[in-house]
Amino acid sequence: MIFCAPVTSEDMIDPRWGRADWVALADVVDGEIMSWQVVEVSWSRLHDEGGPGSHHARVVTFLRDHDVEAVVVDHMGDGMVRMLDTMQLPVHSGAAGDARAAVKAASLKP
């Protein structure tokens, strides 16, 4: 299963999902991280370009292009929650600290 999480340059959970500079894509099988790729998304810079609809579309495109199946975050705004719900993507909120540990913990939840 491919998880996406906003990360800092130190591989910690970035609390700013919609304004993250980087996200990690983790392929997780049976609770073990098989691959971990950090991608620069620059959402902090792009967030206010073109309004909320444009930004949400940018995030949707990224998630679809990378076959993301679940998202691990600290929190996100109501509009983003609705969008991910429409996509039927599970959102594991309340994540903090080490991003790899947060993704692994989320992968073990039913």
Q: Which residues, in sequence order, are bridge partners of residue 26? A: 3, 36
Tens-digit pLDDT profile for residues 15-25:
999 889 999 99
Enumerate residues 6+ apart whose C-beta is below 8 A from 50: none
Tell me, what's the pLDDT at 55?
A: 75
Tell me, what's the pLDDT at 52?
A: 64
Residue 7 has pLDDT above 80, yes or no: yes
Cite the DSSP H helix spans in the chain: 43-46, 51-65, 78-86, 99-107
Tell me, what's the pLDDT at 54?
A: 79
Could you give the 3-state DSSP secondary structure of residue 89?
Answer: coil
Residue 68 belongs to a domain with what CATH number? 3.30.420.130
Tell me how many domains the chain contains: 1
Pair type for strands 70-72 and 91-92: parallel
Tens-digit pLDDT profile for residues 22-80:
999 999 999 999 999 999 998 777 676 776 677 788 899 999 999 999 999 999 999 89
Range of the domain at 24: 2-107
Give the pair of three-digit tokens for residue 66.
């990378």
